[in-house]
Amino acid sequence: MINSDFWNNLKEVYVREDGGTDNFETERPLLKQILELLSKKLNDTYEFLSPLGKGGSGIVIKVQNKNMSIPRALKLPRPMKDSIVDTVKNEMQFLNTLRHENIISVHHLGVLEVPDYQNEYPYFIMDFIDGAQDLKKKVELICNSIKSGNDIKRITEWLLLKLSGIAKAISFLHANSIVHFDIKPANILIDASDKPFLSDMGFSKLKSDSAEAVVVGFTMYYAHPKLTREYGYMTSLNRVRKPLAPKDFCFEWDIYAFGKTILELLGYINSCFNGADAFDYTFSYLHLMACRMLDGRNIGETELNHLREELVKKGIKRFPYAETWLNLNANELSEIKYKEFSQILKDFDKIINKDSFLASVPELTDSFPNRVHCSDGPSAPFSRRVKYIIEHPVFMRLKYIPQLGLTDTIYPSASHSRYEHSIGVFRNCCLYLKSLYLDPFNPLFRQLVSKLDINLLLIASLIHDLGQFPLAHEIEEVTKEFRHEDFTIRFLDNPSKNKDGLTLKDIIEDEDWGWGVKLDLLQSYFKKPDRQQLPLFASLLKDQLLYSILSGPIDADKLDYLLRDSSKCHLKYADSIDIDRLLENLTVVLTVTPNQKRIMCLGSYEKGQSAAESLAFSRYLLYQTVYWHHTSRAVRAMIGTIFKEIISDERSSKKKGNKPTFKESLERTLGTTDLPQSVTVSMILNLIRKHSNENTSELVDMIINRYFYKRLITIHYDPSIGGDEPLISKLRVAVSKVDFAKKLQDNILNAYSRYVSAVQAPRTSLLSETITNRTIERLKLPYAILCDAPNPSYGIEDKLQFIPEPKRLLKNYSNRLDFGSRVSEVYNTVYYHLMNISAKGRIFCYPTIRDPLLAALGPEIIKECVEKTINEF
């Protein structure tokens, strides 16, 4: 017999949950009959102690096993409609077969014959959770015990571990094709030993191929928008039902509810600490995770404020927290959303066991024993799979390719190769990835990147120059048909094998000891230079981020070649780069383009501003003195002229089916599809010589003999004097036009002829008859005058972005993070101005006629010829 105290306590449970006694009085008659029958049936084994709680579908009562003196929890349906009773039957079936440390175990189940009820009435006895509190109440208790916002780390790290345990339980359900349907804080219990349990499986259903509709239930506030369409109310928003076919069940619904649960808990923490949580890494990490769980159904701030107002009006104590992170909108969050719980578990593991992820990638392990020294600073990890790549014949050919082409004519010590540069970029990429993963403030990189992404970036950094060949950049400047990235794609599929009988494809794709990256995925990295179109990863945002690590204002490639080229040329320009400070302050930046598209890329915290901007200064100085040195540009102008003739000849000969094209000959020479060859500068120049015509063959011979054209005049970008800046702008447009150089040559010839015909010069002067005749003869031959006016090379279109560290700007942090930046003024204005200065316009001439032309015309008249020719076009 159940005593009166029990009924009084049960009435209090109803009042506490419902705010009144109406439901209790309605359900009491049948409930009294059921409990009396059940107490008699279980009397030999169980003693009824007290009611524990009431949910949307059931009642839980504390009982005790008389034989073992162990407390248990008895659950039975509330005596309402048949559909509610069915949900508890449903829970019995699932809980009786499932065993998981974070799901409550069932010890006994049965049915009861109730005279006033048509069907059998189910019940089951499960583990009693000693000192059980639901997660929300437990969070409230801990928050109230914390006296200072500085201690917020305590609650967020505690919450992280509890949520991780529940995520494991939900993942277990999904692995068994079960959708919980009612995940919420009230259904997550914490026992006296602080262990989390997922409870209330009353609404759980088995996902199957069945098309026969069944009644599913859920709690309105946490339900996915797809579930809340055309629902049917029961007695409250905690009991909502809807007919659905099991084949239409979605695991994403549980992910969504879990995200809403986390946001509610974060909202309460936020209300307790007045925004101090914004500086806690774990809070930010959980917030980002929760936003990614909402299936792209995230609501904006305006709608969220409306929801808060509605909850206040209804007297509901909930604390909805922002469903956007750094102002990523719903569409953008949809790009990076979680699609299954296994992804959520991995992200929990990344923060709980942060070193385990890094340890899974040998190249990111500080203690990796085998190293290779490729430059100043830290050495590069020399793992088995790295060794296989750099000792492969396709990669070894890079040893014979000079990093700076013919620059050794200007700087004799610049003999370094693409081989050592490639290893250096790989070393930098390892450092960049580790720095971004361990970012102390921003969790974006840690959450978004997978092991596959890391492997892809590492192997891409190592082989990014695989398709390089001597003078590749000089030829590529003429036509994109010779992009070295296209040759990289071809070489990746090269059939040649290393000493162990392995092709590059074998090494790259092997998942045991190789890189575990599909070759077509890696090849796609090099196919499209337009990052807006890259098909690499699951989301465009992540695609942009990963691509910027190897192609951005402060990418791993630039850091290596600036330091290496400066050192090998014995210049001091890169000495100002503070590498350690740069690495310490790398982060992920979100910014918005003028057309309102969100961009995610590599950036820096403001603390690393000087280190990041020093790359821009060093790059400008090296362009000024090395890459765009007048002799380097003379060589490029000569090669450009040769290739324009080659391309023109090949286009005309295609109709006649003549000899193979230069590209076909180049691929055979390089061995892209068969045996890779160690090709030298001389071999490429000889190949060019074979494809040149009589107009340009002399130019090739001059390059082979290092006999380069001379600078006649230089046209500077100098807006301070007013006149030169418009001329250089016009010249940059004019040099691309057909026959511009030829027309300029004719104008210079005419000016020179007029001058020398009016002047009687001594036989020994530069204007003597002999020298004058030779000069005129040369000016009548093709290509005596060459023009060069490159457009400023900024590297890429992206601008260098900075964001503040949270501890510096305090509450302004979130606002400053919203759009990722302040743009570096040094990069945006000063650097662009400097690169414009380095991109000078130059008029080159055949070496023997430079002095006679300057003696006769001087720079001013030659400049007038340039202006006249531009106007004629």
- The full DSSP string for 117-175 is SSS-EEEEEEE--TT-EEHHHHHHHHHHH---GGGHHHHHHHHHHHHHHHHHHHHHHHH
Are 764 and 825 part of one and the same domain? no
Show Cβ contacts of residue 760 under 8 Å, excluding neighbours closer than 6 positions. none
Q: Find the CATH number of the domain harbouring 261.
A: 1.10.510
pLDDT, residue 534, reads 46
Are 261 and 375 part of one and the same domain? no
Are 184 and 169 part of one and the same domain? yes
Reported residue count of the chain is 873
Higher pLDDT, 272 or 150: 272
Instruction: Tell me if 849 is assigned to some domain.
Output: yes
Give φ, ψ of 467 to 5 degrees: -90, 10
Q: How far apart are CA 586 and CA 190, in angstroms?
A: 39
Asked whether residue 491 carries a pLDDT value surpassing 70, the answer given is: yes
pLDDT, residue 815, reads 47
pLDDT tens readout for residues 122-135: 888 888 888 888 99
Are 333 and 363 part of one and the same domain? no
Are 241 and 389 part of one and the same domain? no
Instruction: Tell me if 657 is assigned to some domain.
Output: no
Residues linked to residue 786 through DSSP beta bridges, in sequence order: 844
Q: How far apart are CA 613 and CA 611, in angstroms?
A: 6
pLDDT, residue 234, reads 44
Q: What is the percentage of the chain residues whose pLDDT exceeds 70?
A: 89
Instruction: Tell me if 340 is assigned to some domain.
Output: yes
Are 623 and 726 part of one and the same domain? no
Name the pLDDT band for 235 (thresholds 50, 70, 90). very low
Asked if 550 and 426 count as a contact pair (C-beta separation under 8 A), the reply is no
Most confidently modeled range among 120-129, 229-238, 454-463: 454-463
pLDDT tens readout for residues 170-201: 999 999 999 999 999 989 999 989 999 998 87
**Three-state secondary-structure class, residue 288:** helix
Are 768 and 620 part of one and the same domain? no
Q: Find the CATH number of the domain harbouring 553.
A: 1.10.3210.10
- Count: domains in the chain: 4
Asked whether residue 825 carries a pLDDT value surpassing 90, the answer given is: no
Ranges 394-408, 661-675, 750-764, 804-818: which has the least confidence: 804-818
For residue 740, give Cα distances in angstroms to 423, 632, 693, 732, 872. 42, 21, 20, 11, 9
CA 508 to chain CA centroid, Å, is: 21
Are 382 and 267 part of one and the same domain? no
Instruction: Tell me if 685 is assigned to some domain.
Output: no
Q: How far apart are CA 449 and CA 541, in angstroms?
A: 11
Half-sphere exposure of 758 (CA within 13 A, CB side): 8
Asked if 533 and 421 count as a contact pair (C-beta separation under 8 A), the reply is no
Name the pLDDT band for 537 (thresholds 50, 70, 90). very low
Q: What string of DSSP letters covers 526-584? A: TT-S-GGG---SS-HHHHHHHHHHHSSTT-HHHHHHHHHHHHHTT--GGGG--HHHHHH
Q: Of 340, 318, 22, 306, which Cα lies nearest the Cα of 175?
A: 340
Instruction: Tell me if 659 is assigned to some domain.
Output: no
pLDDT tens readout for residues 764-808: 688 888 899 999 999 999 999 999 999 887 654 567 888 887 664
Task: Compute and round to an integer the Cα radius of gyration of the chain.
Answer: 37
Q: Find the CATH number of the domain harbouring 34.
A: 3.30.200.20
Show Cβ contacts of residue 370 under 8 Å, excluding neighbours closer than 6 positions. 381, 382, 383, 387
Are 414 and 472 part of one and the same domain? yes
Residue that finishes a domain, picked among 128, 161, 190: 128
Instruction: Tell me if 699 is assigned to some domain.
Output: no
pLDDT, residue 816, reads 44
Higher pLDDT, 385 or 306: 385
Q: How far apart are CA 386 and CA 853, in angstroms?
A: 56
Name the pLDDT band for 56 (thresholds 50, 70, 90). low
Are 424 and 480 part of one and the same domain? yes
Q: How far apart are CA 72 and CA 88, in angstroms?
A: 17
Range of the domain at 774: 709-791+839-873
Are 559 and 412 part of one and the same domain? yes
Q: How far apart are CA 577 and CA 302, in angstroms?
A: 45
Cβ-count burial of 654 within 10 angstroms (0-12 exposed, 13-18 middle, 19+ buried)? exposed
Higher pLDDT, 382 or 55: 382
Are 28 and 171 part of one and the same domain? no
pLDDT, residue 92, reads 57
Angle between helices 152-175 and 281-292 (to 10 degrees): 30
Instruction: Tell me if 536 is assigned to some domain.
Output: yes
Instruction: Tell me if 560 is assigned to some domain.
Output: yes
Name the pLDDT band for 563 (thresholds 50, 70, 90). very high
Higher pLDDT, 168 or 839: 168
Q: What is the mean pLDDT of the chain?
A: 87
